Copies of this chain bind each other. A is one copy, B any other.
Amino acid sequence: MTQKSPASERNTGDRGGRAIGGPGSQPATRFTDPGYMDGLANQAIRGGRHWIPVPPRFGFAIAAGWRFGGRVTPPASPERLARQIRFIVEVDKLKEIFRQTVLINSRRAENDAEHSWHLCLLVITLAEHANWPQLDVLRVLKMLILHDLVEIDAGDTFAYDTKAMVYQHEREAVAADRIFGLLPPDQQGEFRALWDEFEARQTPEGKFAAAVDRFQPMLLNCRTEGAAWRRHGITRDRVIARNSYIAEGSTALWEYAARMIEETVAAGHLAVQSGS
Q: Which residues of A contact B (CB under 8 A)?
A: 1-4, 7-8, 10-15, 19-27, 29, 33, 35-36, 38-39, 42-43, 67-69, 73-74, 76, 81, 84-85, 87-89, 91-96, 103-106, 110-111, 113-114, 116-118, 120-122, 124-126, 128-129, 131-134, 137-138, 141-142, 145-146, 159, 162, 165-170, 173, 183, 187, 196, 199-202, 204, 207, 219-220, 223, 240-245, 247-248, 251-252, 254-256, 258-259, 261-262
Contact = CB atoms under 8 A, between A and B. Distances in A.
Contacts of A196: 1, 3
A241 to B, nearest CB: 5
A252 B128 contact: no
Given A43-B251, A170-B7, A103 B110 contact: no
Given A12-B241, A73-B128, A7 B167 contact: yes
Contact of A200 (B3, B87, B120): B3
Contacts of A21: 240, 244, 247, 254
A118 B128 contact: no
A183 B219 contact: no
Contacts of A117: 94, 113-114, 116-117, 120, 145
A125 B13 contact: no
A183 B125 contact: yes
10 contacts: A11-B162, A25-B247, A26-B247, A33-B131, A35-B131, A43-B251, A76-B252, A95-B110, A116-B117, A137-B138
B113 A200 contact: no
A245 B19 contact: yes
Given A89-B223, A104-B89, A132 B38 contact: yes
Contacts of A261: 23
Contacts of A134: 38, 67-69
The 10 closest A-B pairs by CB, nearest first: A23-B258, A39-B131, A117-B117, A27-B247, A113-B114, A3-B199, A138-B138, A11-B165, A21-B244, A2-B200
Contacts of A252: 43, 76, 81
A204 B116 CA distance: 26
B200 A1 contact: yes
